[in-house]
Structure 1
Amino acid sequence: MEIRNASFVISNTDVAKCPGDGLPEYAFIGRSNVGKSSLINMLTNRKGLAMTSSMPGKTQLINHFIINDEWYLVDLPGYGYAQRGKVGRENIRRIIDGYILNRHEMTCLFVLIDCRHEPQKIDLEFLEWLGENGIPFCIVFTKADKLGPVRFRENVEAYKKRLLEDWEELPPVFCTSAEKKQGKTELLDYIESVNNSLGGH
């Protein structure tokens, strides 16, 4: 799939105010500083489409971007950013839970994971929660360029092995680098294939 146009539509904190046209939505989520904005900008070829920030936890809204007038890319708040304080964390959790559990148009959730780290409790618990609620998701490893190819493969395999302790089968897994534009074709082709399987979109 080639992204011909991508534009910002709306930001909000309430799932009820999300667009009402019924187009499929592909949401991106991850811990703060996982490289989400960079990945979104890389996928869409728009340098400033999603705001990249050196300060973690800047995305505190559900951000909808319309792609090719056919589907929405949704940028969700990062989870697990400790310095936001209890009330802030609760707010973010409410926004995330509200969208993920109640947004009928959400076709797939891409969970971003920094390939440099060992499996983190917060990510594993989040994935488990998705499983318990029957949410369709994929895992996207980010920042592949920060490791050598061998170390990167080892980390990804170790992560998969850890997941298989809890899961009977793994969801689709993508390996990406925003810097090197790695994984772009695979991700967009996957979205296109899901769109095609939905029929009529």
Structure 2
Amino acid sequence: MVEEHLEDYDGGASVKSATIGGARLKHHDVERLIMPKAISSIKKFDLVILQGGSSEPLTQENRKEFSYYATKHIESIKANNSKAALYMTHAYVKPHKDFEENQIRVIEEIYTKVGKENNVLVIPVGLAFDIAYQEFPDIKLHQDDGTHPNLKGTYLAACTVFASIYGISPIGLKYNYYGAIDEEDKILLQEIADKATSMYLKKNYLPIQ
């Protein structure tokens, strides 16, 4: 997607992810990871996107911990002269044991709160999933475990990240996971991502800084 938008963009050399299965923000040593050449040849990251664990927004204790570590990591990122953003997670769906109706509202509230307190962009992936399920009840964006995204969910998330970071609509992008997403689904998912980012960022827009 980004290669369509930026002619000279080299994703392989410009992007790095640091993930730990089942982890929370507190498990990541962000201050070390963003040091020059700590995890790649990259000397300084332009943007660091923080994603909390799926369960972090769901209890008062977890939310307090999430807020603390998100703020701590954002301060480290800004001290490194990099920019920070928060990736709002999607809610659980059935049959996950922690599924609850309207769970996304709690997730939205804590991510928005922490984003505003730290003056960073919030990427509304969770809201994009919610809009999709509300408007298209038969759509499936999760794997059978009710927590991890399937291919369509991953594509929707990617469109939402793209739209949020660059401030432009993803509608019309050609990228389709090398043919894995058919044209009808591609258009639908791009439209949902556009709607989610337009609605959320209109109310809660904080530019990347």
TM-score of the superposition, structure 2-length normalised? 0.33
Whichever structure has more strand as a proportion of its residues is 1
